[in-house]
């Protein structure tokens, strides 16, 4: 069975601070895919990134960066110089041989002005 754990239920930071959202996963599949989605107050799920299990290279996209470490089964997400518009619920998710996504419980990020 697959499992995704986001231990941080809520995080609150002040604008311009850096913040890291943790994600730990469990799977028996040898090939799998990891995702981050953002759910702003409007409610839709917005795709942010997808990583393949065979590609551990970290990725940076603007103020966003992702740290994938197979050795610790973690796929953490860092927002640099956070902004109020970053306030949202962030979900980490996993898929494998079965194509459906297994989601973590989400982390509510609040960025205060």
Largest CA distance in the chain: 43
Query: Cα angle at 104 between 72 and 110, to 5 degrees?
Result: 100
Q: How far is the CB of 14 from another protein (least distance, A)?
A: 28
Distance CA 94, CA 99 (A): 9
Q: Which is nearer to another protein, 37 or 82 (CB)?
A: 37
Q: How far is the CB of 2 from another protein (least distance, A)?
A: 10
Residues 49-88 contacting another protein, CB under 8 A: 50
Q: How far is the CB of 100 from another protein (least distance, A)?
A: 4
The piece of 14-22, 38-46, 58-66, 68-76 that touches another protein (CB under 8 A) is 38-46
Both tokens of 86, joined, read 């970053």
Q: Is 1 in the site for another protein (CB under 8 A)?
A: no
Choose, by CB under 8 A, the member of 47, 70, 72, 84 that binds another protein. 47
How many helices and strands in the chain, by DSSP H and E?
Answer: 0, 12
The HSE-up count of residue 45 (CA atoms within 13 Å, CB side) is 10
CB atoms within 10 A of CB 60: 10
Residues that bind another protein (CB under 8 A): 33, 35, 37, 42-47, 50, 91, 95, 98-106
């Amino acid at each position: 069975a697959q499992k995704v754990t986001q231990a941080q239920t809520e995080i609150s930071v002040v604008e311009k601070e850096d913040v890291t959202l943790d994600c730990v996963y469990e799977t028996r599949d040898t090939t799998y895919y990891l995702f981050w989605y953002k759910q702003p107050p409007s409610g839709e799920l917005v795709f942010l990134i997808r990583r393949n299990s065979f590609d551990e290279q970290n990725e940076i996209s603007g103020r966003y960066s992702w740290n994938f470490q197979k050795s610790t089964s973690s796929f953490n997400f860092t927002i640099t110089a956070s902004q109020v518009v970053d306030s949202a619920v962030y979900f980490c998710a996993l898929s494998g041989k079965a194509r459906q996504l297994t989601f973590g419980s989400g982390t509510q990020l609040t960025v205060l002005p």
